[in-house]
Each structure stands twice: as C-alpha cells, then as structure tokens.
Structure 1
C-alpha cells in the first residue's frame, strides 16, 4: 500500500488530525516557509504525535550540525533535504533515513536523482526561487518508462481529486501533500480524510 505523508504540520489540531487518520509520515518544516516552525514548537507537537507515525524534518541548504541537533532533540526518523544539497553532502546521518528532493524540470532532473545515495527520492514541481510547498504539479508524463533505483515519494500539487491518477501513473512508495489538504493556509481535516481515503482505496 502506498504510504501517506502530510507535511507542514504546525498546530496541535494538525497533530490530532494525523493521529486520527493514522498517516504514515508527519512532516515538520524547518526551512524558510509560511509553515516553518522552531525546534521548540516541533518538540511540543511531536510529544502528542502517535508513536506509530514517523517524524520527517524538512531542511533547505541547512548545516549538517543543525540537522543533527534536530535529529537528536526531536528523534526524527527521516531527514528530507529539499534544497541544492550535492550528492556528497547527504551522508553521515547515522540511523536516520534521508530523502532527497528533486525539483522536476525535465528528464535531466530525473537523471540527477541517480547520483544520490539516499533512502528515497522526493519528486516535486520546480518553481523558480521556491523550494517546495508550491501546490503545483509537474508533468507526470515525464515519469513514463522511468524507474529510479530509490523509492519515490511523489509530491507537488497533489490533492484528493488527482492523487489516484498520479499513483497509478508513477507507482510511488509514498505520496506527500501539504497545500492540497489546506483551506485558507491551514490543514483541513475533511480534505485530509478524503485524501487518505483515496490513497488507501487503491
């Protein structure tokens, strides 16, 4: 079954929502973004998170020592590197899984993913000056015939209305949503519920 990651959690009720829906991954953003939270805020949220849900920390071009501090203080299960991190900089995080985000502009973007020795490749849309969270889709036809050696986490403009089609086309390990389950910039339980139900109905 395709795994579900809900990203950009920042309120106690967001944690309540993911706990009720029993999603697989909860994402916390530690990079410049309207969804950014501090380590202190994340610690309080994680304390209330269902222990079965894996904790993902999202970083953009961050120093390794800062990332390690987050891993130690918050008990992160996954580090999501969403910036311009080169292949040689993604190792050395011990037991923590590493996902590298690739902003898909064309076939060459997908080839670049092969250079990374990571536990997962997150495919997101490419918008100049932004590192994710755009709510925009990339052309999924680019994935036709492409099979990356790493597990694929599909992101970028997903919502309850298009996630089934995207899964059938890409066959990812997991899907990642943030904007697509929000109303007015905040997580919406009914949208989250519908999204999770659509994924799990396959």
Structure 2
C-alpha cells in the first residue's frame, strides 16, 4: 500500500472531517511558512489525529531547545527536516525523542542528490524528495523532473521515501502508474484559495487507494 502523507494541516474542522480516510501521516509545519502552526495550535490539532495516523512535525534547522519544548507537549511520531541538519544530528534526534526522522532533500540534479543520499543513508528513517526552490522549503506546488525517480530509487535502496512537489488528485495516478513510489506527500495540491479542501483531500486519497487496489 502506498503511504499517504497530507501536510500543512491547520484546521481542527478539516482534521475531524478526514479522520476516517485511509491516510498514513499528517504533517504539521513548525518552520516559518504560511502553513506554520503555533505550539498552542499543534496541541489542539494532534488531539484530532487518530492513533492509526502518524504525526509529523516539519522543521528547518531546529535547535534541541526548540524540539525539547515542542515534543514535551506535542506527541509527534516523526520529525521531517528540511534544512542543513547534519547526519549525526538526525541520528541523535531519533534516539533522543524516540521518533522516526525523515530527511527532505530538494531535487536539483542527480550529482547533488547522489551526494546527499550518500551522506544521510543509514542515519535517517526515510527520505522526502521535493522540488528545489531557492527560498522555500516545500509547498511550492511545482513538480520536479520525475525522470530522476528511477535513479533516486536505485540510490536509496530499501529506505522508505516519499515523493512531493506539485502532486494533486489529477496527476498522482500518473506518478503511481509510472514509478510506484513508497509514499506520496501533498500539501498545496489539496488546497483551494490557500486552505485545505476536504473534498480535494478525499479525491487524492481515493485516487491513491484505487491504484493500490488494482496493482
């Protein structure tokens, strides 16, 4: 089964409406972003996440003090790191907080990806591959070149990974048919006017699960 991650949730109402959907991970953005949540918001939001869904905190170069404060009050199951966090730091966080660590890597070119994967492979629990943007860490709504996915799959071996960047209910089926990734991550692709759209989330999940049922 393809792992589904819905990222950038900010609304209790939306979370309540999607509780019954077969979603694997829900992402909350703590890094500076228009989708950023405060500690108070995060505490309220995680209460609405069923135990069957993982709770992912999205960060960019977090400090230990920042993570200590958040994880003391928000029971995250995963940390997704979008900055220049060192491999040793990533490995430390996994042990320190007993969470899984996903390292997000921007897709620019194969040579840089190969170097980055080599650095982090074996020290993180998974990778997320997203479209490169010079000033934005994810949520761009833009696809990267899917032609690179076979090389990515070869480089990471058995490590779990998610494809992000420009996915939506209309194109996720194409991605799954062509490359069968371990998981898919969506944020802006299930929004309307900058806010999460319950119907688009349901459509996205339905497209993924329809593919799973027939393959």
Q: TM-score range by the shorter chain?
A: over 0.9
Q: Give the Å deviation of 1:91.
A: 1.6
Q: Name 2:76's counterpart in structure 1.
A: 76
Which of the two has greater helix per residue?
2
- In 2, Cα distance between the equivalents of 1:44 and 1:145? 40
In 1, distance between residues paired with 2:60 and 2:140?
Answer: 15
Alpha-carbon separation, structure 1, partners of 2:175 and 2:112: 18
Q: What is the total number of aligned residue pairs between the two structures?
A: 202
Distance in 1 between residues matched to 2:60 and 2:18, nearest whole Å: 24
In structure 1, the residue corresponding to 2:41 is in which secondary structure? helix
Q: State TM-score, norm by structure 2.
A: 0.89
What's the offset of the Cα at 1:86?
Answer: 2.5
Contact 1:56–1:78 (Cα < 8 Å) also in 2: yes
1:29 aligns with 2:29: yes
The CA distance in 1 between the partners of 2:67 and 2:181, in whole Å, is: 26
Say which of 123, 135, 138 aligns to 1:129. 135
* Counterpart in the other structure of 1:53: 53
The answer to whether the Cα contact below 8 Å between 1:160 and 1:180 also exists between their aligned partners in 2 is: yes
Show the 5 A alignment for 1:4-153. 4-93=4-93, 94=95, 95-111=98-114, 112-116=116-120, 117-146=123-152, 147=154, 148-149=156-157, 150-153=159-162
Cα displacement (A) at 1:76: 0.5
Shift of 1:22: 3.3
Separation (CA, whole Å) in 1 of partners of 2:68 and 2:102: 15
- TM-score (ref. length: structure 1): 0.95
Partner of 2:2: 2
Which digits, 9 at most, give the CA deviation of each residue in 1:66-95, with x for residues without a partner? 123322321110000011222222121222
SS in 2 for 1:20: coil
Alpha-carbon RMSD across the aligned residues, in angstroms, is 1.3
Secondary structure of 2:127's counterpart equals strand
Deviation string 1:118-166 (CA, Å, 9 cap, x unpaired) is 0000000001111111111000101234421321111111001111221
Please state how far the C-alpha of 1:36 moved relative to its aligned partner: 0.2
